[in-house]
Amino acid sequence: MNNHSETGNSGDISAYSSADTIPGWNKELDLAFSAYRGSYTPGRVASRHKTVCEVLIPGAVVQAGISGALQRIGKQPVVGDFVVLLDQPELGSRVVVNILPRRTCFSRGAAGDGGGEQVIAANLDTIFIVTSVGKDLNLRRLERYLAVVYSSGANPVILLNKIDLADDPARLVEKIQSIAGNVPVVSLSALSEIGLDTLSPYLKPGETVALIGSSGVGKSTIINALLGEAVQKTAGIREDDQKGRHTTTVRQLFLLPNGAVLIDNPGIREIQLGDSSEGLEKAFSEIVDAARDCKFKDCTHRDEPGCAVLKAVEDGLIPEERLDSYHRLTEELIFQTKKAEIGLKRLEKEKHREIAVNIKKYKKFTGKP
């Protein structure tokens, strides 16, 4: 494969070949890149396939490998990253050699015993949390999404899609707003092109918006409707359980005609909290605010005397299910943190064990005691 070749047909970003700037590029990135000279080029990751990225550079879309040095230190570029490319004309290729500082970073808890974080996308201004009418509409799941999005540093917006299938969309919006706080809730039908204009304030030139949500909620249909063409494959939900079919398998960046950036993500039904303590506080701000009046600073809001949160529940100011959800997510966050700490300790032990083995080999080879 010739990594130096330009991509002529890559969905909507093929139109990017006539642009001389990288979407989302700013003075801070310009300053960060100023340390590089000569054969280096700035770019932005549009998609990634294992060790090869599709990257937007000024005036072109190119493919680039990921340097071995980055891979060895576990520094992996993700969609939305601004990166430094090393041109290697003698090899006919480009290589990602560094990642410029991330302004925001959307991640989730990684699966497995080690815990930790899995970075999903970077440098996002807004994240559309997409749900739809029917069985996918789950307030507890939306609370989880809000906590993770708040932790990313991006602004959350909840989209209620497929409202043409609902008898009373306004009631569903009101239901979502009961847990959304100040987060905007937008109702639309991407397939029927209802309410798409209400997304305009979030899709300004140079702004980057990612879409997250379960499979089948219509993320790809929203992308297609905004672009005015079918760049993403879509499929209906299963009739028996109303669960979506996975149609998006790779995170992909798309460019709107006005210069706004969209990032589509494969569907996820459950999302691990990871390190989202700050996001959890923002997602349950009414509980955090009430807790300031608790008698004890370390109040758990379960059965302590003088608990202002329990009093707010008793007075009907905070729904009991909201407090139950807060407790459940807090416990999960503590568990994830402990799991990550155990994973780090295990890695440290393995590292010391490997060093000890290498020292033993060295002594045996040199004959030194």
Counting Cα atoms < 13 Å in the Cβ hemisphere of 308 gives 13
pTM over 0.75? The answer is yes
Assigned token pair, 147: 């906590």
- Percent of the chain whose predicted confidence (pLDDT) is above 90: 60
Q: How far is CA 256 from the centre of its chain?
A: 20
Does residue 322 fall inside a structural domain?
Answer: no
CA atoms of 158 and 156, how far apart (whole Å): 7
Residue 51 belongs to what domain range?
11-99
First-to-final CA distance of the chain: 51
Does residue 175 fall inside a structural domain?
Answer: yes
Does residue 346 fall inside a structural domain?
Answer: no
Q: Are residue 95 and residue 123 in the same domain, yes or no?
A: no
* Domain CATH number, residue 85: 2.40.50.140
Q: Are residue 138 and residue 254 in the same domain, yes or no?
A: yes
- For residue 66, the surrounding DSSP H or E stretch is strand 60-66
Q: Are residue 88 and residue 193 in the same domain, yes or no?
A: no
Does residue 352 fall inside a structural domain?
Answer: no
Does residue 356 fall inside a structural domain?
Answer: no
CA atoms of 75 and 69, how far apart (whole Å): 9
Q: Are residue 25 and residue 162 in the same domain, yes or no?
A: no
Assigned token pair, 150: 């708040």
Q: Are residue 247 and residue 119 in the same domain, yes or no?
A: yes
Q: Are residue 227 and residue 154 in the same domain, yes or no?
A: yes
CA atoms of 44 and 79, how far apart (whole Å): 8
Give 59-110 pLDDT, tens digit per residue.
889 999 999 999 888 889 999 999 999 988 777 789 999 999 999 999 876 6
- Percent of the chain whose predicted confidence (pLDDT) is above 70: 78
Under the banding of pLDDT at 50, 70 and 90, the label for residue 256 is very high
Which residues does residue 126 pair with via DSSP β-bridges, in sequence order? 155, 209
Structural contact between residues 336 and 115, judged by C-beta atoms closer than 8 angstroms: yes
Q: Are residue 155 and residue 87 in the same domain, yes or no?
A: no
Q: Considering 221, 246, 264, which residue would you say is the last residue of a domain?
A: 264
Give 342-363 pLDDT, tens digit per residue.
554 555 666 667 676 666 665 5
Q: How many domains does the chain have?
A: 2
Question: How much is the average pLDDT of 310-337?
Answer: 92
Q: What is the average pLDDT score of the chain? A: 84
CA atoms of 290 and 353, how far apart (whole Å): 49
Give 216-227 pLDDT, tens digit per residue.
899 999 999 999
Q: Are residue 81 and residue 109 in the same domain, yes or no?
A: no
Q: Are residue 145 and residue 170 in the same domain, yes or no?
A: yes
Tell whether the model's pLDDT for residue 5 goes beyond 60: no
CA atoms of 133 and 53, how far apart (whole Å): 35
* Domain CATH number, residue 208: 3.40.50.300
Q: Are residue 193 and residue 219 in the same domain, yes or no?
A: yes
Which residues does residue 62 pair with via DSSP β-bridges, in sequence order? 6, 55
Closest by CA position to 226, among listed 259, 204, 199: 199
DSSP character at residue 198: G
